[in-house]
Chain A
């Protein structure tokens, strides 16, 4: 609807035309505006308002603390144990570093606004409005906003070492978990396939999707998947990280653990966790050879996850 306050730039326009236009617009507005008697009627409705209906049984109980949606079993979530997914575990550990009290919600990628876990759902302030989820890339900012701090390393080499974890170790992890057939059926299947459905067809379809997604991810960087190369690159990465850690408690010699410690812990915890039942242990053995990395994992487990 054109506003009649629009300044008339064309002086030549006859004033009569302008009046008829403004008359016309006001008529249009009158047509769309609610007549007074109807408005009083509208204001009266609804006549009676009862308290809200209860939510279904599966609905999460309202909480005062934020909820972190991760890949985890129900029992482990209740006990606050580590997630079995590296990126979930990284941010779960990070929140523990920041002493942000949260509850863990077992979930799947379908629940996430970004298509990948984890994400954090802050407590609801208003029952009429769902809180906006916070994806992992905004968690550092969220922690700052909450007035908590996690130490940050200012090292120049930080990025270089971070890329070792994000590429070399992650690629070897993807291969060893999804593409080593023994590990896939012994580990990945129980973690990522069977919790979704009991139906064999659906399980077969999800298995196929997972394996081809992992393969596609690996083929992003190379033309062919060379197993020996993947493992030896990961071995070199562990060696470099082991030298970097040296005799320090935390990487880069910080007083408190940083996000970098969380990112490496996300892999070392899972590779050293015997309960997962690894069958093909090449990657696990490469890690076990670095005693200070093993101790680093144990130190974090004791301090932030209440021991083994």
Chain B
């Protein structure tokens, strides 16, 4: 009885706690075997392709094998695949060319983000098939469509901002990789924000996108003692250019309200309180060749933003031409005695912008800028050592913004000892500064006032701060904790001595 019971217990025990070690070993062994098999297969395929790379082939068919329900339109896929079918080409393929073309088509399919995973197979048609020629190959793509509706809720914490959001994403609405995204969020600084974005690729090209969006939001701007309420809509067209740069052309019409002023709001902000409509066309060009945008160790970024508002047929209540240029470059610094990449790098950024007042419509006097159109400078993500909106013209406690600015930052980054250069953790020494100026009043002569203000940029040293800190580049955002000291300031500018914490994607 007792022994029976004993064996029963051990059996149960062993069932409950299977020999983990042995099981693990088995799994590991299996995995290794599979990997070895795959590697061998890949190697064989590589050899095969290499030895046959110049083999003339014709792509006779491309077949997408979907699993589950299929919503994607045939015409959408035809536009993607037809151009690479041999029927539609004058020049015959070699095998490697054909594979490359098919691979890039598969890659495009992946980038529409409507499929989970796309894998490619090649087959030769049956030689007995009378319609096939000996050079024919068939391409099979296997892909599983992603769920069409995706609902997501969560919380975000950013620069002195906490928020909760809900997002509804509807993919592949009309079977052509169109998507509709509805987003609602509430936070400490963005009191409320509702956004609807409809996005569609043009001519089955993931690099050409048309976006229509509508927005309603209310955001607190404590550095200028007000709350900005926005209601607007826009149309964007973005496309990729040769050389890895991208363009975006957009129109937007926004009704802005400056309201809910704080008790200590300055007369400048009080004057700008109320309604205004901005109707503008803008163009953004980005060429990003950095190895890691959040913690670059080599490469450069060039970006320009141009916006024209109010002028000519655009109308609205504000008129200006606004141009901004942003550059950022990083170089690794070799350390003697350390082989390869030392992890030490130097990065420098430069930004400048100008707002040129224009009349609204076809005639009239140029309109002076308002606080919501002017540039703001300062804060943990651009000029460290100053509070947000801390640089430039200030009325009382308000950063009222400026029309012309130039800013720079230099950072020397070191990996942490022991932690190593492969972690996204760095120690930094930085110096940054800049100037933000309001246009001078030259009795209505706009170009003269712009020139003389630009000349003033070089009057004396720029407002400057320097310090040391720790940088952590998380895959979605960069975190910085810095100790900084202001060196040069203008009276009234809101500099910050001591610790400052910053979270952002785009650091100067």
Contact = CB atoms under 8 A, between A and B. Distances in A.
Contacts of B45: none
Interface stretch (A105-113, A240-248, A252-260, A276-284): A105-113
B46 to A, nearest CB: 61
B491 A51 contact: yes
B8 interface: no
B273 interface: yes
A49 B315 contact: no
Contacts of B437: 53-54
A294 to B, nearest CB: 35
A59 interface: yes
B490 A51 contact: yes
Given A199-B316, A202-B255, A59 B267 contact: yes
B102 to A, nearest CB: 50
Contact of B368 (A41, A47, A57): A57
A51 to B, nearest CB: 6
A55 B374 CA distance: 12
B182 to A, nearest CB: 22
Contacts of B487: 45-48
Interface in B295-351: 315-317
Contacts of A111: 261, 270-271, 273-274
Contact of A52 (B394, B436, B439): B394
Contacts of A41: 485
A2 B411 CA distance: 41
A57 B275 contact: no
B258 interface: yes
Interface string A27-67: 00000000000000110011111111111111110000001
Contacts of A45: 485-487, 495, 497
Interface centre among A54, A121, A205 (most CB of B within 10 A): A54
A50 B370 contact: no
Best-buried of A42, A128, A130, A198 by chain B (most CB within 10 Å): A130
Interface in B256-271: 257-261, 263-268, 270-271
B460 interface: yes
A127 B493 CA distance: 12
Contact of B400 (A49, A55, A113, A133): A55
A47 B392 CA distance: 18
Given A130-B398, A202-B255, A53 B277 contact: no
Most chain A beta carbons < 10 A, residue from B265, B270, B395:
B270
A76 B398 CA distance: 29
Nearest to B270: A111
Contact of A130 (B271, B397, B440): B397
B475 interface: no
A133 B275 contact: no
Contacts of B267: 59-60, 67, 121, 124, 130
A52 B488 contact: no
A129 interface: yes
A154 interface: no
Interface string A122-159: 00100111101100000000000000000000000000
Interface string B417-450: 0000000000000000000111111000000000
Say which size band chain B's interface belongs to: 35 or more
A112 B271 CA distance: 10
A53 B485 contact: no
A53 B392 contact: yes
A186 interface: no
Given A53-B392, A107-B273, A197-B276, A46 B402 contact: no
A56 B439 CA distance: 6
Contact of B263 (A52, A53, A57, A133): A133
B360 A196 contact: no
A110 B271 CA distance: 10
Contacts of B368: 56-58
Contacts of A198: 277, 315-317, 360
Contact of B492 (A42, A47, A52, A197): A52
B274 A199 contact: no
B405 to A, nearest CB: 11
A168 B497 CA distance: 59
B258 to A, nearest CB: 6
Nearest to B437: A53
Nearest to B357: A57
Interface in B378-424: 392-398, 400-403
A196 B316 CA distance: 11
A59 B400 contact: yes
B461 interface: yes
Nearest to A67: B267
Contacts of B398: 130
A110 B273 contact: yes
Nearest to B262: A113
B486 to A, nearest CB: 4
Contacts of A202: 255, 275, 277
Nearest to A45: B485
B369 interface: yes
Given A50-B490, A111-B261, A57 B271 contact: no
B394 A53 contact: yes
Interface in B156-215: none
A130 B400 contact: no
A69 interface: yes
A57 B492 contact: no
Contact of A197 (B225, B255, B493): B255
A203 to B, nearest CB: 10
A56 B438 contact: yes
Contacts of B101: none
The 9 closest A-B pairs by CB, nearest first: A130-B396, A111-B273, A57-B368, A56-B438, A59-B268, A108-B274, A110-B273, A199-B277, A110-B259
8 contacts: A53-B393, A53-B492, A110-B261, A129-B397, A130-B396, A197-B275, A197-B277, A206-B275
Interface of A: 41-42, 45-60, 67, 69, 105, 107-108, 110-113, 121, 124, 127-130, 132-133, 196-199, 201-202, 205-206
Given A107-B273, A107-B274, A111-B273, 16 more contacts: A46-B495, A51-B490, A51-B491, A52-B492, A53-B394, A56-B400, A56-B439, A60-B271, A69-B270, A108-B274, A110-B258, A132-B263, A132-B264, A133-B270, A196-B275, A199-B316
Interface of B: 225, 255, 257-261, 263-268, 270-277, 279, 315-317, 360, 368-371, 374, 392-398, 400-403, 436-441, 460-461, 485-493, 495, 497-498
